[in-house]
Amino acid sequence: MANGKSIWKSKSMEECSEKPKQKKLWQRSFFYWLILPLAILLLAGLALTGYLYWFFNYRKLPPPPDVEPIRAQLQTGDIVLRSGVGLWSELFRNNNEHDKRFSHVGVALVEPDGECFVIHAEANDTTGSGTVYVMPLADYVRDSDGIGIARLHTLDPAKFAAAVRKYEGTAFDWKFDADDHSSIYCTELVELALQDIAPDASLKRGGYGIIMPESCLDQRYFTEIAIQK
């Protein structure tokens, strides 16, 4: 009987000693699986907020290109390639496979009096809202640190520009799905207009099936025009 009490007492002591260990293990698990990840997310959020505040308020930008030499070279239907200074520009530049100069494209519209505009698909960096719209060339150039021009050599530039104008007001495509035309991104606009006047035309796709800016230098359709300084 005494022996039985001793065994029961021993088991009770073991159970009591296990409880603090289990509590410590639970506390450690709680820290590693909940508190630590939340702390990391908080620090990452603070770092991102700080970066965005610096990006939009204190970042020093290089001067934009002189618009006059660009204006002098442009013809209606030209592709106006831009090396942007926006939040996502570096990402798009680097995702070009070969030619990493440009991050965005638009199409030139030159009025009879020589006034130049660019129609393009663009969204606001912070709100994400955007459409296909027309803006003055000077404003388009102002948001860049480099400009290129590509000119159609196999198709009618005037018909191409007219085809582009049909998409004015279409929402910007943040999914970058070139097969869904309910919304459009910049290079998708170029391909759609090409296909409107030449149904078999297509531009090369890069990673994830996205048409990258370098595709608008495709020598099957375009010739790059040197900008005279």
Question: For residues 189-206, b (16+ Cβ closer than 10 Å) or e, as one string?
Answer: bbbbbbebebeebbbeeb
* Mean pLDDT rounded to a whole number for the chain: 85
Distance from C-alpha of 128 to C-alpha of 114, rounded to nearest angstrom = 33
How confident is the prediction along the chain (229 residues), in pLDDT tens digits per residue? 445 555 444 545 445 555 555 555 555 665 556 676 777 777 776 665 654 444 555 456 678 899 999 999 999 999 999 999 877 888 899 999 999 999 999 999 999 999 999 999 999 877 889 999 999 999 999 989 999 999 999 999 999 999 999 999 999 999 999 999 999 999 999 999 999 999 999 999 999 999 999 999 999 999 999 998 7
Contact of 136 with 117, CB cutoff 8 Å: yes
Distance from C-alpha of 5 to C-alpha of 1, rounded to nearest angstrom = 6
Q: From 110, 120, 104, select the one nearest 76 (Cα to Cα).
A: 110
Query: For position 21, what pLDDT does the model report?
Result: 54
Angle (CA) 225 170 92, round 5°: 50
Question: Domain 67-225 carries which CATH code?
Answer: 3.90.1720.10
Residue 2 half-sphere exposure, CB side, CA atoms within 13 Å?
0
Domain boundaries, the chain: 1-60, 67-225
Query: For position 170, what pLDDT does the model report?
Result: 98
48-95 pLDDT, tens per residue?
565 444 455 545 667 889 999 999 999 999 999 999 987 788 889 999
Query: For position 8, what pLDDT does the model report?
Result: 45
User: What predicted TM-score, i.e. pTM, was given to this entire model?
Assistant: 0.76
